[in-house]
């Protein structure tokens, strides 16, 4: 993980991480900006700000400063969990005050996350391999519908959404990625995703599914203007709402760090988790200064690490540097946005499926011959899949419950931890399970 690759390899592999996460970074500001009623110019500024702050957060997470940053190949970007609460805030406060109120709430939530990190990370002892495997599998399964939606066109409003042409392009891109991984060797094999994206995009142009319109309209350079939309406003209801979102994001980040630690063969201990959560909190608190939103882990990039087996954290740091450039030079960001949604969908199936496969491998190591573990996995996976199978399932519940349960990853993670407590910590079962592969605690020794 501490290997510094040659410059060309560093850039190309870092760009591959950016390509995998770009759509996820720009989607939240696009939705929130449209909900607030921003003009196209202001919307472009909000998207650039999100790219810029995602780059800063990724550099902080990968390189680290003092006790801040997990120093893992860990990508940070705008958390999608906050979209619904931010839209609710926008509806309540109107277009003029919405963003200052949102930014004020995000600053407070980030600061509280930073302070809570050394306490929240102690939850690691409630994440034995059986819980980790369940959560990692849920991460992959929860992301697959995103890839499927991309494969159909990204949005029902998009031209040709769900058409044979769009789905065929996704299938072609998926085939290209698989064949590149099979036929290429060495460094080129590691770039199979980026090559597949390039091939898919090239085919998309004659099909009419991609064009250079966004490039011709983009500004060349735009320096982030601090508090461009006004000074932050600290409103208690909004703060509580975003703090709940931050707890959900911290749960997902913890699960993602545990998953990544297993993939790169360096277990994420309490010290690593605390440093990673501090980075999330600090980046979240700073983001609104540059008109950005809450920062959180991007699970799709964990799949890319597993797929390519490139573990260097400096590769992801290079991706963070590219994100900063995309934020400063919108014209560069528009080039990345040339990749159409169906192409991303085809590649996403490989990426997100790889995460799920890593979870299944972890479950196999956990020892599934125990009936307690079988029940734990089946119930946690079942509840975690509910928001995927029925997105409106919890709509009648209070907002705090909806925020937690609408994220299959968070709901499944919390339930897996609770079931682990029930089966392996309560009563005689705790002593019976403490010495086996399904033990209730994970070693927290600092990795070498």
Task: Look at residue 141 in the predicted model and tell me its pLDDT.
Answer: 85
CA 32/CA 35 separation, integer angstroms: 5
CA 205/CA 212 separation, integer angstroms: 9
Q: Beta-carbon neighbour count of residue 94 at 10 Å?
A: 11
Domain boundaries, the chain: 7-144+210-339+351-433
Task: Look at residue 300 in the predicted model and tell me its pLDDT.
Answer: 73
Cα distances (Å, whole numbers) of residue 187 to 175, 306, 351? 19, 15, 18
CA 21/CA 301 separation, integer angstroms: 7
Longest dimension (CA), the chain: 68
173 with 346: CB under 8 angstroms?
A: yes
Contacts of 343 (CB under 8 A, 6+ apart): 169, 170, 173, 197, 200, 201, 204
Task: Look at residue 28 in the predicted model and tell me its pLDDT.
Answer: 82
pLDDT per residue as tens, the chain (448 positions):
888 889 998 999 998 898 888 777 887 887 788 678 777 678 778 888 999 999 999 999 999 999 999 999 988 888 776 776 787 788 778 777 889 999 999 999 999 999 999 998 887 777 788 888 888 788 778 878 878 988 998 878 888 899 999 999 999 999 999 999 899 887 788 778 888 888 998 999 898 887 776 666 667 787 888 999 999 999 887 888 788 778 878 887 888 898 899 888 888 889 999 999 999 999 999 999 999 999 888 877 888 888 888 899 999 999 999 999 988 987 776 666 677 889 888 988 887 787 788 788 888 877 788 888 999 999 999 998 998 889 889 889 887 777 678 777 778 888 988 999 998 877 644 444 444 444 444 433 333 3
CA 224/CA 5 separation, integer angstroms: 30
What DSSP element (H or E) covers 76? strand 76-78
Task: Look at residue 442 in the predicted model and tell me its pLDDT.
Answer: 40
248 with 296: CB under 8 angstroms?
A: no
Judging by beta carbons within 10 Å of its beta carbon (0-12, 13-18, 19+), is residue 270 exposed, middle or buried?
A: middle
Sign of CA dihedral 154, 147, 340, 219: positive
23 with 2: CB under 8 angstroms?
A: no
99 with 229: CB under 8 angstroms?
A: yes
Task: Look at residue 104 in the predicted model and tell me its pLDDT.
Answer: 95
User: For 186, left (φ over 0), alpha (ψ -120 to 50), or beta?
Assistant: left
For tokens 């607030």, name the residue: 36
Name the percent of the chain in helix, strand, coil, to the closest 5. 75, 0, 25
CA 203/CA 73 separation, integer angstroms: 31
CA 131/CA 266 separation, integer angstroms: 17
Grouping H, G, I as helix, E, B as strand and the rest as coil, residue 133 is helix
Alpha-carbon torsion, ordered 335, 181, 166, 44, to 10 deg: -20
DSSP state of 225: -
Full-model pTM = 0.73
Task: Look at residue 57 in the predicted model and tell me its pLDDT.
Answer: 94
CA 250/CA 297 separation, integer angstroms: 9
Half-sphere exposure of 218 (CA within 13 A, CB side): 22
CA 256/CA 43 separation, integer angstroms: 30
| Alpha helices, DSSP H, located in 287-407 | 299-308, 313-328, 330-336, 341-366, 371-389, 399-405
Q: Beta-carbon neighbour count of residue 237 at 10 Å?
A: 13
Q: Which two tokens stand for residue 368?
A: 């599934």
For tokens 């997470």, name the residue: 61
Comparing CA positions, the residue from 26, 338, 361 lying closest to residue 197 is: 338
């Amino acid at each position: 993980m501490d290997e510094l690759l040659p410059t060309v390899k560093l850039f190309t592999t870092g760009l591959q991480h950016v390509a995998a996460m770009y759509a996820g970074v720009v989607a939240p500001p696009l939705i929130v900006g449209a909900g607030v009623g921003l003009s196209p110019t202001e919307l472009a500024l909000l998207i650039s700000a999100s790219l810029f702050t995602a780059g800063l957060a990724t550099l902080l997470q990968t390189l680290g400063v003092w006790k801040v940053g997990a120093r893992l190949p860990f990508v940070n970007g705008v958390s999608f969990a906050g979209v619904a609460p931010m839209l609710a805030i926008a509806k309540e406060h109107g277009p003029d005050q919405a963003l200052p109120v949102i930014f004020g709430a995000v600053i407070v939530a980030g600061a509280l996350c930073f302070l809570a990190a050394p306490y929240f990370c102690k939850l690691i002892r409630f994440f034995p391999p059986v819980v980790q495997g369940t959560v990692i599998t849920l991460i992959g399964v929860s992301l697959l519908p995103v890839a499927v939606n991309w494969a159909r066109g990204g949005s029902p409003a998009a031209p040709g959404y769900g058409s044979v042409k769009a789905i065929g392009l996704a299938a072609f891109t998926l085939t290209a990625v698989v064949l590149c991984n099979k036929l290429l060797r060495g460094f080129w094999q590691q770039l199979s995703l980026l090559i597949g994206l390039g091939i898919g995009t090239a085919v998309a142009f004659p099909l009419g599914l991609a064009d250079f319109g966004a490039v011709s309209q983009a500004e060349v350079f735009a320096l982030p203007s601090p508090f461009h939309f006004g000074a932050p406003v600290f409103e208690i209801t909004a703060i509580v709402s975003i703090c709940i979102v931050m707890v959900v994001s911290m749960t997902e980040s913890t699960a993602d760090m545990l998953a990544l630690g297993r993939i790169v063969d360096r277990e994420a201990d309490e010290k690593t988790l605390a440093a990673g959560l501090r980075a999330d909190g600090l980046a979240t608190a700073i983001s609104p200064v540059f008109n950005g939103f809450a920062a959180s882990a991007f699970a799709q990039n964990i799949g890319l690490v597993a797929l390519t087996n490139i573990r260097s954290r400096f590769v992801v740091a290079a991706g963070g540097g590219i994100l900063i450039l995309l934020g400063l030079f919108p014209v560069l960001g528009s080039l990345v946005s040339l990749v159409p949604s169906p192409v991303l969908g085809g590649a996403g199936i490989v990426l997100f499926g790889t995460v799920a496969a890593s979870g299944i491998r972890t479950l196999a190591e956990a020892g599934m011959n125990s009936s307690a573990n079988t029940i734990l996995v089946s119930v946690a996976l079942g509840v975690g899949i509910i928001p995927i199978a029925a997105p409106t399932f919890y709509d009648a519940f209070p907002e705090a419950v909806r925020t937690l349960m609408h994220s299959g990853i968070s709901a499944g993670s919390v339930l897996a931890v609770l079931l682990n407590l029930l089966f392996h910590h309560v009563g005689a079962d705790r002593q019976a399970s403490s010495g086996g592969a399904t033990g209730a605690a994970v070693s927290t020794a600092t990795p070498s």
